[in-house]
Amino acid sequence: MAGAPPGPTPFADRLYQAVRTKNTRVCVGLDPVIDRLPGDIRERAVEHYGDGPLAVAMAFDEFGRGIIDATAEFAACIKPQAAFFEGCGPAGMYVLQALIQYATERGLLVIEDAKRNDIGSTAEAYAQGHLGQVKLIGGGAGRAFGPDALTVNPYLGRDGLLPFIKACVQFGKGIFVLAKTSNPSSGDIQDLIVEGRPLYMRVAALLKELGSGLEGESGFTPIGAVVGATYPEQAVELRRVLPSSWFLVPGYGAQGGTARDVVVTMDGAGMGAVVNSSRAIIFAHASDAAKAAGFDYRQAAAAAARSMRDDINSALAAR
């Protein structure tokens, strides 16, 4: 490798560094819903852009920047949910891209939750457009959506994962592959028994195989897994087989997972998992406590993110 230029710092190492230096395992889920945004943001958007999809997207833009500013100190990463941006049409995708860049500038790692999946050159197009670079007509490279990591669905097998992994290695990015999700019906497919073990363990075995040899300095690979906090026993099982994967853990708070449930996904040093909370942080302004305190949405989000950080760190210290 003598003479090879140093590649970009791998996502797994950057996440390790962020969790350690900021001492937080919080991932803020940016899942904007227009009805739940503060009234002044919605009114301003209609006034400036008219009452169409663009106003919805621009309201998400102002709201998203406010949430990023308010929570950057307390979170390791932010996870914009592509569905809510796509849900207001193409304008929403510009805002998604802009917010990814804004969060990066504010020092947050960005996990784009898009659950993309396809095969061959199609998966490559997703990988380039999100994690890599847009291929231009003259041969140059244009700006992609640009997150540090992307969530990916494994149903298509390794053909559907390899193009994403290739982009991860080339651009220092990461993926989080759905293994055992937090929803009540995740068992319909994921818990089916294959050769005596649940399907999600087979997915884990595939991720382990594909990640082998890709460990960075931190010991973690670019191939993470989505592991719901609502199924702590399964999370422990997955941690055992995937010691070198970052876990993205949804289901804390609103969905019922506790701090004790989520710390089981972390290694002895308290590393290896980031825990997502969406509504309980970004819509904290609607809570009675926030109203009693006179908090605006940013103050409420900051307080919720800080309290979640401390809740998880206390559970780590107490185990």
Task: Find the binding residues for a copy of itself in span 185-244 (CB under 8 A).
Answer: 185-190, 192-195, 199, 202-203, 206
Q: If DSSP states are collapsed to H, E and C, what string results for the chain?
A: CCCCCCCCCCHHHHHHHHHHHHCCCEEEEECCCHHHCCHHHHHHHHHHHCCCHHHHHHHHHHHHHHHHHHHCCCCCEEEEEHHHHHCCCHHHHHHHHHHHHHHHHCCCEEEEEEEECCCHHHHHHHHHHHCCCEECCCCCEECCCCCCEEEECCCCCHHHCHHHHHHHHHHCCEEEEEEECCCHHHHHHHCCEECCEEHHHHHHHHHHHHHCCCCCCCCCCCEEEEECCCCHHHHHHHHHHCCCCCEEECCEHHHCECHHHHHCCCCCCCCCEEEEECHHHHCHHHCHHHHHHCCCHHHHHHHHHHHHHHHHHHHHHHC
Residues 115, 135, 166, 208: which is the catalytic one?
115
Binding mask 29-68 for a copy of itself (x = CB under 8 A): --x-xxx------x--xx----xxx-xx--x---------
- Closest contact distance (angstroms) between CB of 237 and a copy of itself is 18
Closest contact distance (angstroms) between CB of 280 and a copy of itself is 14
Residues between 249 and 288 that touch a copy of itself (CB under 8 A): none
Smallest gap from residue 117 Cβ to a copy of itself (A): 5
- Based on the shown chain and the rule CB under 8 A, indicate whether residue 13 belongs to the binding site for a copy of itself: no
93 touching a copy of itself, by CB under 8 A:
yes
One symbol per residue from 120 to 139: x for binding a copy of itself (CB under 8 A), - otherwise; what is it?
xxxx-xx-xxx---xxxxx-
104-123 binders of a copy of itself (CB under 8 A): 115-123
Determine if 156 is a binding residue for a copy of itself (CB under 8 A): yes
Q: How far is the CB of 286 from a copy of itself (least distance, A)?
A: 15
Site for a copy of itself in 69-88 (CB under 8 A): 81, 83-84, 86-88
180 labelled catalytic: no
What positions carry a catalytic annotation?
115
